[in-house]
């Protein structure tokens, strides 16, 4: 009996040992599996090609890449050619931001990792320019396209990139391997080359081509004429503008103001004034104040004013007939506007200089005296909305 009991205990021990060994084996196998190596942080280099004051856009782009723990650097360039775009030596994503037309930006991407190189081109239209919304859209496009290019999800054939740039791509295989999505030694498709613009050797000629576009303004204007009171009424204008060098915008417009009736009172005499005013006004857009636009203008115009007198007691005072005067003037204006898409809302102050000193006289006991005499310099203000139809 004792022997049988001893053999039973030994059998149970061996059985439990086998179960323990079998359950431990998978755990050791899992522990021996090597860990997946972490991907190196992305390196991004952004070049602003002939972009005036890119500081805010630069900060916006950098903030997008900060979440990726990417190495970020930026620079300013005068021009972009094939040597700089196709000859990048530093590993990472190289981004070149250019403005081919006012408010139309073309962005070139070049990626290098070892012997592999890939390229990408993106066009982005910003109707209100590089305001807060425009900078956010541009930074988002640059961020998403950079990730897509670095991960190999998107690229543009080198021949298409060079045609967009306006210069032939280098043909030496040792210095420019074909992109991964294009078979080696593939010939470019003729129809694709015909569809893409081909400016000369760089982007500078395209940048100098600044088209004109339509600008409409409407609002309400008021001007203090001194003893003649306030001249005020709705205003409507039409003009043309274009981008110009360091200035963001240059234009000229023609506007008209309907002068609503006002009545002046003096010694039993009422004088009603009404009329219209028209102005031709060149303007320039100065340096931006953050997200605000600053517009300065000078102009010249003419004002048609109809004066209609009336008296309370005709036995004492005789009223003359109504008359219409034509008054030329010059003005200077400064306005601050906030862009909302293709519309800019703002206020402006101005100073008008009358060429003729206008006054209305009263004859009393044979003596003539000026009663309503307008100021020569007349301050004013206006509330305006500017609508841009174009780039």
Percent of the chain with pLDDT over 70: 72
Percent of the chain with pLDDT over 90: 37
Q: Could you give phi then psi for residue 19, rounded to 5 degrees?
A: -60, -45
Q: State in words which class domain 43-208 has.
A: alpha beta
The rounded distance, in Å, linking the Cα atoms of 136 and 178 is 33
Question: Residue 34 pLDDT more than 80?
Answer: no
Which has the closest alpha carbon to 335: 344, 326, 324?
344
pLDDT at 314: 63
pLDDT at 128: 83
pTM to 2 decimal places:
0.47
CB distance 50 to 79 below 8 Å: yes
Q: Record the tokens describing residue 372, joined without a space.
A: 């309503």
Q: Which residues of 183-207 are buried (b: 16+ CB within 10 A; e: fewer)?
A: eeeeeeeeeeeeeeeebeebbbebb
Q: Record the tokens describing residue 390, joined without a space.
A: 């174009």
Question: Residue 273 pLDDT more than 50?
Answer: yes
The rounded distance, in Å, linking the Cα atoms of 175 and 182 is 16
Q: Which residues of 278-292 are buried (b: 16+ CB within 10 A; e: fewer)?
A: ebebebbbeebeeee
Which has the closest alpha carbon to 305: 269, 358, 355, 352?
358
pLDDT at 26: 41
Q: Which residues contact 363 (CB under 8 A, 6 or more apart)?
A: none
Matching CATH number, 213-389, of 3.30.70.20, 1.10.3720.10, 2.40.110.10, 2.40.160.20: 2.40.160.20
What is the mean predicted confidence (pLDDT) over 241-248?
67
What does the pLDDT look like over 16-33, one tens digit per residue? 444 333 333 343 433 444
Confidence of residue 331 (pLDDT cuts 50, 70, 90): very high
Question: Residue 304 pLDDT more than 80?
Answer: yes
What is the mean predicted confidence (pLDDT) over 107-118?
90
Q: Record the tokens describing residue 321, joined without a space.
A: 């007939």
Strands 359-364, 343-354: parallel, antiparallel or unpaired by DSSP?
Answer: unpaired
What does the pLDDT look like over 127-141, one tens digit per residue? 888 888 889 999 999
Question: Residue 313 pLDDT more than 60?
Answer: yes
Confidence of residue 293 (pLDDT cuts 50, 70, 90): confident
Question: Residue 247 pLDDT more than 90?
Answer: no
**For the chain, counts of helices (H) and of strands (E):** 7, 15
- What is the rounded average pLDDT for all residues in the chain? 78
The rounded distance, in Å, linking the Cα atoms of 351 and 224 is 10
What does the pLDDT look like over 41-99, one tens digit per residue? 889 999 999 888 889 999 999 989 887 788 899 999 888 888 888 888 889 999 999 99
The rounded distance, in Å, linking the Cα atoms of 269 and 362 is 9
What is the mean predicted confidence (pLDDT) over 228-246?
86
Strands 104-113, 92-101: parallel, antiparallel or unpaired by DSSP?
Answer: antiparallel
Residue 316 CB-density burial (10 A; 0-12 exposed, 13-18 middle, 19+ buried) = exposed
Question: Residue 298 pLDDT more than 90?
Answer: yes
pLDDT at 270: 84
Spans of all domains in the chain:
43-208, 213-389
CB distance 103 to 126 below 8 Å: yes
Question: Residue 365 pLDDT more than 70?
Answer: no
Least confident of 22-26, 187-191, 314-318, 354-358: 22-26
CA distances, 20 to each of 15, 16, 171 (Å): 9, 6, 66
């Amino acid at each position: 009996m004792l022997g049988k009991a001893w053999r039973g205990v030994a059998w149970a021990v061996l059985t439990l040992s086998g179960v323990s060994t079998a359950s431990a084996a998978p755990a050791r196998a899992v522990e021996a599996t090597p860990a997946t190596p972490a991907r190196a942080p992305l390196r991004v280099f952004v070049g602003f090609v002939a972009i005036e004051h890119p500081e805010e856009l630069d900060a916006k782009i950098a903030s997008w890449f900060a979440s990726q723990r990417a190495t970020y650097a930026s620079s300013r360039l005068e021009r972009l050619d094939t040597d700089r775009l196709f000859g990048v030596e530093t590993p990472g994503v190289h981004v070149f931001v250019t403005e081919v037309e006012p408010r139309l930006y073309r962005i070139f991407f070049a990626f290098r990792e070892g012997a592999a190189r890939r390229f990408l081109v993106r066009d982005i239209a910003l109707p209100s320019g590089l305001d807060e919304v425009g900078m956010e859209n541009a930074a988002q496009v640059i961020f998403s396209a950079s990730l897509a290019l670095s991960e190999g999800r998107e690229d543009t054939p080198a021949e298409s990139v060079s045609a967009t740039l306006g210069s032939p791509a280098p043909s030496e295989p040792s210095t420019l391997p074909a992109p991964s999505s294009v078979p080696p030694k593939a010939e470019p498709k003729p129809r694709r080359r015909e569809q893409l613009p081909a400016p000369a050797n760089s982007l500078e000629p395209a940048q100098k081509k600044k088209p004109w576009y339509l600008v409409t303004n409407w609002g309400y204007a008021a001007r203090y004429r001194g003893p003649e009171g306030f001249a005020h009424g709705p205003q409507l204008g039409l003009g043309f503008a274009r981008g110009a060098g360091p200035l963001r915008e240059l234009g000229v417009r023609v506007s008209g103001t309907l002068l609503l009736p006002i009545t002046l009172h003096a010694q039993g005499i009422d004088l009603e004034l009404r009329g219209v005013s028209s102005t031709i006004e060149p303007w320039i857009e100065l340096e931006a104040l953050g997200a605000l636009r600053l517009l300065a203008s000078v102009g010249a115009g003419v004002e048609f004013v109809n004066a209609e007198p009336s008296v309370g007691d005709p036995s004492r005072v005789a009223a003359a007939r109504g008359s219409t005067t034509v008054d030329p003037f010059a003005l200077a204006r400064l306005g601050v506007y906030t862009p909302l898409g293709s519309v800019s809302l703002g206020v402006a102050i101005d100073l008008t200089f009358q060429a003729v000193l206008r006054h209305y006289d009263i004859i009393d006991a044979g003596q003539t005296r000026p009663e309503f005499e307008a100021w020569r310099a007349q301050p004013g203000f206006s509330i305006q909305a500017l609508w841009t139809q174009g780039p």
